[in-house]
Structure formats: structure tokens, C-alpha cells
Amino acid sequence: MTDKYAVIGNPIAHSKSPLIHRMFAQQTGQDIRYEAIEAPLEGFAETIARLRAEGYKGCNVTVPFKFEAYQLATQRSGRANDASAVNTLIFEGGEILGDNTDGVGLLADIEKNLQFKLFLKDALLLGAGGAAAGVLWPLFNAGISIVIANRTEAKAEQLAAPFEGAGTVHARSYEALTGRSFDLVINATSSGLSDQLPPLPDGLFKPGALAYDMLYGKETPFMAFARQQGAAIVADGLGMLVEQAATSFALWRKVRPDTTPVLAALRKQ
């Protein structure tokens, strides 16, 4: 019997997750169906209830529902609790298990696929929503110092608060970035969806810096800005998407696919 899974978001039509999971299933011999479902902005919980009633085994969660998915989960992994956000749900009996594979996916893409070593680097994380929350603890544990910048500085301060004693995670406004430079700049905002650029000053990129946009599938204004500003490496989030999907797939199916041929196939498209 074919097991059903989905990715839930709004918007969601652009998602490559169904294609990725189809390739994972073919590679590992798993009998699954995976689709993209757009939930109404005020209807996420109802959408999850419907999927459970229809026998779905789990789902991925993307913008803007990751915080809501965290609240909906009846059991949560340590990674989910660290982020206070969930991107992977597993439906088991009466339970909704919540996990977050975003950070694992980001680090795998940066260090394995892009061959960029994180230890002792300085990072700037743009945004303070679910995407940023999902990767903050893994970045911290990788041994780097982090500045979180957001239009609303209070939201950045909320994300940084649990790290106050460590002295390596700080919240700043965009205006306060003037005169600062970083080894790694990650755009975790959704600005690229509307072809916008966060209000960034010049000079953000150190020699050899990596500019990383979590969005994928197009040249975003942030990526164009990074090229103009001399970033040594400019990457979109396709590798992160594939790597985090592989961890979700392994949680659901108890077998881990090989991401290398899947990422290569997607890059060729």
C-alpha cells in the first residue's frame, strides 16, 4: 500500500520537494506518494487534521507555518525544541511528532557540498523567523560567532536571548551592520520571494566569504548583491533543501537516501 506524505506551505507551487522525495523513493525502493499542498494562512491546523484523517503518514512544513507546527506537535525532538519551530511532522497513532531538519540540512550543504568549513568563522544571519530559528542552534554548535539582524530588532533579540551567557550570539538592527564584515552571510528572510533585498550596507563580505540564500530556484536580489560586493562563493538553498529532505525521509522511512545524485540531477535542470 502506498504511504502518503506532503509538504505544506503558502505559497507552495514553486516547491521542488515532491520531485526530491520521488527521486529518494525510486533510489531506496520505497512505495510513497508525496505532494505539495497550499494551506490557507488561517487554516494550517485544519489542513493537518484533514491529512491525518485521510491516512497521511507525515509532512514537511515550510513558510509561514513552522512556528504553528511546533505548537501543534504533541511530542518534539530536541532539535525542534532548540528552534521552537518544526519543519517535519510524523503522524503515529494519536501523536504528532515534530522535528526540525533545517539546521542539519544547512550544515551538510555548507560543509559537505560547498566545502566551506564553519569552525571559528563569523556569521551574519538575516531574519528572525522560522527559517532562522531552525538553523541557529546548529550554527552555534558548529563553533562560530553569529550576529542576527532583522527589520524588527526585538525579534532578533528574542532569538539571541538563550545564548546570552555564551557571548557569541548577538542581535543587531540592519543599520548597525555598517562597518562590519563576515565570513558567512545567510539570508533566512523571505525577501527573495518578492524580489526584495534586505537593507544591507556595503562591505559585509570578508575575503573568501560565502553568501548563502535559503531560497532556491532563481537568482535572488541578495545573491546579485553578494556577487556585486565580491563574495567569493554565492549559493542558493537547493542543497539545503535536498539535505534536510533526506533527513526527513530517513525519519519517516528508516532509510537514508544518497543526496549527491539527487542534487546533481536538480542542478542540471
Q: What is the pLDDT of residue 169?
A: 97
* CB atoms inside a 10 Å sphere around CB 167: 8
Q: Is residue 115 part of a domain?
A: yes
Q: Is residue 244 part of a domain?
A: no
Which of 183-220 are b and which e, b meaning 16 or more Cβ less than 10 Å from the residue's Cβ? Answer: bbbbbbbbbbeeeeebebeeebbbeebbbbbbbbeeeb
Cα separation of the two ends of the chain: 31
* CB atoms inside a 10 Å sphere around CB 221: 17
Q: Is residue 264 part of a domain?
A: no
Q: What is the pLDDT of residue 172?
A: 96
Q: What is the pLDDT of residue 217?
A: 86
In terms of domains, do 158 and 86 share one? no
Q: Is residue 147 part of a domain?
A: yes
What total of structural domains would you count in the chain?
Answer: 2
In terms of domains, do 60 and 133 share one? no
Q: Is residue 245 part of a domain?
A: no
CATH number at residue 62: 3.40.50.10860
Domain boundary at 66, 100, 134, which? Answer: 100
Q: What is the pLDDT of residue 26?
A: 98
CATH number at residue 110: 3.40.50.720
In terms of domains, do 92 and 31 share one? yes
Q: Is residue 257 part of a domain?
A: no
In terms of domains, do 130 and 210 share one? yes
Domain boundary at 84, 100, 116, which? Answer: 100
Enter the DSSP assignment of 126: E
Q: What is the pLDDT of residue 269?
A: 87
Q: What is the pLDDT of residue 18?
A: 98
* Catalytic residue (one of 16, 57, 66, 218): 66
Residue found by looking up cell 538563550 in the block: 162
Q: What is the pLDDT of residue 14?
A: 87
Cross-strand partners of 59:
6, 89
In terms of domains, do 95 and 111 share one? no
In terms of domains, do 93 and 209 share one? no
Q: Is residue 66 part of a domain?
A: yes
Beta pairing, strands 169-172 & 182-187? unpaired
CA distance 40 to 38: 7
| Torsion angles phi and psi, residue 182, rounded to 5 | -140, 155
In terms of domains, do 141 and 84 share one? no
In terms of domains, do 153 and 126 share one? yes
Please give the model's pTM, rounded to 2 decimal places. 0.94
Q: What would the grid cell of residue 219 be?
A: 537568482
pLDDT tens string for the chain (269 positions)?
A: 899 999 999 999 989 999 999 999 999 999 999 999 999 999 999 999 999 999 999 999 998 999 999 999 999 999 999 999 999 999 999 999 999 999 999 999 999 999 999 999 999 999 999 899 999 999 999 999 999 999 999 999 999 999 989 999 999 999 999 999 999 999 999 898 889 999 999 999 999 999 999 999 899 999 999 999 999 999 999 999 999 999 999 999 999 999 999 999 999 98
- Clarify whether 112 is annotated catalytic: no
Query: What range does the domain containing 230 cover?
Result: 103-239
Q: Is residue 221 part of a domain?
A: yes
